Amino acid sequence: MGAKTGFIYDESYFWHDTGNGALFLPPGGWIEVDEHGESPKSKRRVKNLLERTGFIDELKVIKPRTATKEEIELNHDTSYIERVERLSNTTGGDAGDLALVGAGSYEIALLSAGGALTGIDAVMEGKVENIYALTRPPGHHAEREKGIGFCLFNNVAIAARYAREKYGLKRIMILDWDVHHGNGTENSFYDDPEILSISIHQEGNFPSNTGYSEKVGEGKGAGYNVNIPLPAGTGNAGYLYTLENVVVPIAEQFKPEIIIVAAGQDANVFDPLSHMLVTADGYGEMAKVVKSLAERLCEGRLVVCHEGGYSAAYVPFCTLRIIESLSGLQSKVTEDPFRGSTQGLPTNIFADHQKEAVNRVIKVQSQFWNFDLVYK
């Protein structure tokens, strides 16, 4: 089969224009022209690093296709889709709350969602065992009727619905490790027992008033929505504890037929939009855990879609470590170039209050899942 790990990207992803404001704000008045937080840099540099190191030659590069409007309608209202298209064809604007549309963004957003669908097809048809899709714009905040937080169309939610419709899958697991709560994905499947949605995020970050551990789903979907809010300062050890003690036992019982990851590398130690302490090596270890799950439970079928990450210099190294773990291969970057900058930071210290936060989730979810083997 050749390379067992695929990689999806397109130059168009880096042309989605979010403007030149300072993070959320447009320039003007006392605000000097700046670069928007969700700029192309952190994504383009992932591709550049793969090329510069030659590691891209170890991967099967697959060109994404454009999603159809009908495929976007699997998860979004037609009126909202048409709103994004109108903004894209005119002067641009906000498609909801902090969901900027630039000229041509509609077509790029279709291609971003299409990248996730291309990943599903590649894995399900056996072209690769697993795949990383460098999709942009991101998607996990996007609701059915509006965009939120840089997200236009919910790539992973559309991919899950597509996988169910095209391949007849009945147990699909979405793991969202973006540092911000995956509210859009949660609301897409809140009463759906066939889609297990797990979000690991910094508590109280974004969006406001979402992501509580008590939000477990409703009706037949009760227990299939898992929120894991972690306190600021949680680093590698806390994230790995969370995966091993919450995500793994739930996944083992759910037995997914495919795993989709909403991979935001914005819990990294240098990210300006979070206060977590995950390092590039930490992301590599997280990916190993999820890959192992996929190999045990669903023949290795794993689709990883890029989401957030706003440290343009560091996100590429975090993502490289993830792709290394997916492939089982080592790039030329044998050490984290930023390791000296993290000396003295508690990246691998797992404090009592962090463990308590994870254990609260276990207590809430124990009415649906068995944690007897791991819960202390």
141 counts as catalytic: yes
51-68 in b/e burial notation, b at 16+ Cβ within 10 A?
A: eeeebbebbbebebbbbe
**Do residues 44 and 57 touch, judged by C-beta distance below 8 A?**
no
C-alpha span between 83 and 101 (Å, rounded): 10
Q: How far apart (Å, rounded) are the C-alpha atoms in residues 49 and 56? A: 9
Q: Which residues contact 230 (CB under 8 A, 6 or more apart)?
A: 200, 201, 202, 203, 238, 239, 242, 276, 354, 357, 358
For residues 141 and 183, the answer to whether their CB atoms sit within 8 Å is: yes
Nearest to 195 by CA among 217, 215, 179: 217
Report how far apart, in Å, the C-alpha atoms of 170 and of each of 118, 161, 185, 227, 295 are. Answer: 19, 10, 17, 21, 18
Within 173-278, residue ranges assigned H as helices are 183-188, 236-242, 248-254
Cα dist. 358→54, 162, 318, 363 in Å?
Answer: 39, 32, 23, 9
Q: What is the largest CA-CA distance in the chain?
A: 58
Catalytic residue chosen out of the listed positions 16, 76, 140, 141: 141
Amino acid in the structure at residue 268 = N
Run of H or E including 71: helix 69-72
CB contact burial 258-273 (16+ within 10 A = b; e otherwise): bbbbbbbbbbbbbbeb
Copy the structure tokens of residue 37. 């937080």
Q: Which residue carries 């302490």 as its tokens?
A: 277
CA distance 130 to 292: 11
Give CA–CA dist 314/268, Å, rounded.
8
Question: Which residues are the active-site residues?
Answer: 141
